[in-house]
Amino acid sequence: MSGFRSREDKIFTTVGHIVMIILSVLAIAPFILLVSGSFTENDAAIRYGYQFWPKVFSLEAYEYIAVQWQQIGRAYLMTIFVTVIGTVLALLIVSLLAYGLSKRDVPGMKILTLLIVFTMLFNGGVVASYMVYTNIFHIKDTIWALIFPNLLMNAFSVILVKNYMQSSIPGELMEAAEIDGAGQFSVLFKIVLPLSKPILATIGLLAAVAYWNDWTNGLYYITDSNLYTIQLLLNEMNNNIQFLTSSAASLASGISTSDIPSASIRMAIAVVAILPIIVAYPFFQKYFAKGITMGAVKG
């Protein structure tokens, strides 16, 4: 029987490894194709399509982006600022609200939880949101237009943090702190939040990715080019490639039609946009499965 079980375990492990290898290849292959396409000569990309190894190696797409780097650099700084401020504010609001909702003995928390869940299922739509943000909050063409809309639509994150606080942080630990004279803010910032690092790191990374990749808020609320984020700017460049190609002869920079990499630049734009997230992700990954609360209460 033990030999039979060992054979089953080996088969299960082998099949599991094969499945994970296939899924890993499927996940990595598009990124390899993306990077390879960005280094492919434009005419070769049009003639032969995108391949995992450049048919004709070229840096023309990145050279074209470098010409526009003054504007792109400003957009990068804007994106970094929006991502950092938005993520910090999102974590603060989510933590405060989730901590309050995790208190089962506080009157009205069930009704408030129901209202928050309701916003996850139904919303007023784009038109209603646009009218509220422009006519009531007056955030159009301000930096807050890139922060507030995402900041106020994180009900899912609130529910995740609330459930984590209720299930993973011992209530006895908070009660002991309150008996010792700690107030609610002391309990939150000195006990609950330090023990909630795994879920906060996860929510923070999700919020940061959402802010970094967001371009719809800029599309709706931003017309001032000085407030463009990298996603909005690169999306504008991508959408205007055909116009730039057709009018290249009249540009002051003197770039000819053949100098504009209309095919490979789309890949280069995507690489430039996702590179910071790929670099930052490994530094946060260790928090995802970290069980900090195990063994917090003894005896």
- So what's the pLDDT on residue 285? 67
* Whether the predicted pLDDT of 3 surpasses 80: no
Radius of gyration of the chain (CA): 25
* CATH code assigned at 147: 1.10.3720.10
Q: What is the pTM of this model?
A: 0.76
Share of the chain above pLDDT 70, in %: 84
Rounded CA gap, 34 and 38, in Å?
A: 6
Q: How many CB atoms lie within 10 A of CB 43?
A: 16
Domain for residue 290, yes or no?
Answer: no
Q: What are phi and psi of 57, to 5 degrees?
A: -70, 135
Domain for residue 28, yes or no?
Answer: no
Domain for residue 50, yes or no?
Answer: no
Rounded CA gap, 91 and 100, in Å?
A: 14
Domain for residue 6, yes or no?
Answer: no
- So what's the pLDDT on residue 2? 47
Q: Under DSSP, is residue 249 helix (H, G, I), strand (E, B) or coil? A: helix
117: left (phi over 0), alpha (psi -120 to 50) or beta: alpha
Mean pLDDT of 75-79: 87
What's the number of domains the chain is made of?
A: 1
- So what's the pLDDT on residue 299? 39
Comparing 99 with 245, which gets the higher pLDDT?
Answer: 99
pLDDT digits (tens, 9 = 90+) for 139-162: 888 999 898 887 766 788 888 888
214-216-221 Cα angle (round to 5): 115
87, 293 in Cβ contact below 8 A? no
pLDDT digits (tens, 9 = 90+) for 90-116: 999 888 888 888 887 777 778 888 888
Domain for residue 95, yes or no?
Answer: yes
For 190, the domain range is 70-285
170: left (phi over 0), alpha (psi -120 to 50) or beta: beta
